[in-house]
Amino acid sequence: MIEDKDQQRTPLSELGEFGLIDHLTKNFKIKQTTTIRGIGDDAAVIDFKGKQTVVTTDLLVEGVHFDLSYMPLKHLGYKAVVVNLSDVYAMNATATQITVSIAVSSRFPLEALEELYAGIEKAASIYNIDVVGGDTTSSTKGLLISITALGEVNKEKVVYRNQAKPKDLLVVSGDLGAAFMGLQVLEREKEVFKVNPKNQPDLSAYTYLIERQLKPEARKDIIALLEQLEVKPTAMIDISDGLSSEIIHLCSQSDVGCVLYETKIPIDPALISTCEEFDIDSTTVALNGGEDYELLFTISQEDFPKIKGNPNLTIIGYMEEAAEGLHLLTRAETKIPIKAQGWKNFND
């Protein structure tokens, strides 16, 4: 759909492995004082000066996690970084460094990797993190990208998934479901394009949804907000697989139950109208869509006044004794059990 047939194509073989690494990484500047040594040695050296270290990694495979027919490489680079940082923030930590490993087939010219790295660089700059290493290799088919993120956190600040207590409030940042519907719109346009490549779709009604799919953000700002409000969540997780699946993780790891109010789930007006058009229930999408990269957390009731009325945060329910189970209280005031679906199954 977005493929440009006229673009320049420099074969990777022209640069060789070291030439390529040099070329791709020459713009990275060290910004963090904790980075002692970045790219260029056998290993990076980091000094967190007594703070705890957070490490997380993700592997993205072409055709499984992304589709380059509608995902521009620059966005892919950006998103690959952001999804990792989101996991660091979900520990209530500060993200500080990443490493980037790629495997590429000869189908990709240098210019394609430059695009990918432009996205990585943009994310590194916006989130103020250092790219301190990686690995570069060839693949027989397609593109693989693996990013590892490092972060730091004071021992007393770290937030796990397993400390939610009965009566705690369940809170979510931002709004949910938009990234999934953005993907549905892109998939639909891809099918239309296959039939009629000359068709120029007007996607303006879906700008927000598509942006949420192609250019998600990690909620670094929410971590700063919680610090400022002096709220330490009792448990926290980022929403990558969908609200219901993440709620189930929080509840099972904390050994609690919960009540989730359907009417409280934050959804954007663009999601409602697009769900009507696609004839899908917007609550189902918000519950199971995934890739929102919002933060889901629990707070003790004492902290309620501190977050009350904050436009970035929505209280969507509360935790219960484990024996009460996990329930969605619907608009019609019926109680239905929360079941995991996850966005992958959702597609089947």
Positions that interact with ligand ADP (CB under 6 A): 21, 24-25, 39-42, 100, 102, 131, 133-136
Query: Is the C-alpha dihedral spanning 267, 271, 275, 277 positive or negative?
Result: positive
CA distance 8 to 270: 37
Angle, CA 345 vertex, CA 336 and CA 332 arms, to 5°: 20
CA distance 311 to 343: 27
Binding of residue 14 to Mg ion (CB under 5 A): no
User: Is the Cβ of residue 41 or residue 135 nearer to Mg ion in the bound state?
Assistant: 135
Closer residue to ligand ADP (CB): 29 or 264: 29
Which of 24, 46 has the CB closer to ligand ADP?
A: 24
133 contact choice in ligand ADP, Mg ion, none (CB below 5 to 8 Å, kind-dependent): ligand ADP
Residue 235 binds which one of ligand ADP, Mg ion, none, with CB within 5 to 8 A depending on kind?
none
Chain centre to alpha carbon of residue 206? 19
What gap in Å lies between CA 279 and CA 1, rounded to an integer? 25
Nearer to ligand ADP, 39 or 80 (CB): 39
Instruction: Supply the minimum distance, in Å, between the C-beta of residue 134 and Mg ion.
Output: 8
Q: Between 22 and 47, whose beta carbon lies closer to ligand ADP?
A: 22
54 binds, among ligand ADP, Mg ion, none (CB under 5 to 8 A by kind): none
From residue 338, give the alpha-carbon distance in Å to each of 24, 101, 264, 284, 327.
Answer: 46, 37, 15, 11, 5
Question: Within positions 109 to 168, which residues make up the interface with Mg ion, using CB under 5 A?
Answer: 135
Residue 319 interacting partner from ligand ADP, Mg ion, none (CB closer than 5 to 8 Å by kind): none
CB of 63 to ligand ADP, least distance (A): 20
Cβ distance to ligand ADP smaller for residue 100 or 210: 100
Cα 269 from Cα 275, distance rounded (Å): 10
Instruction: Give least dist CB 131 to ligand ADP, A.
Output: 6
Binding site for Mg ion (CB under 5 A): 135
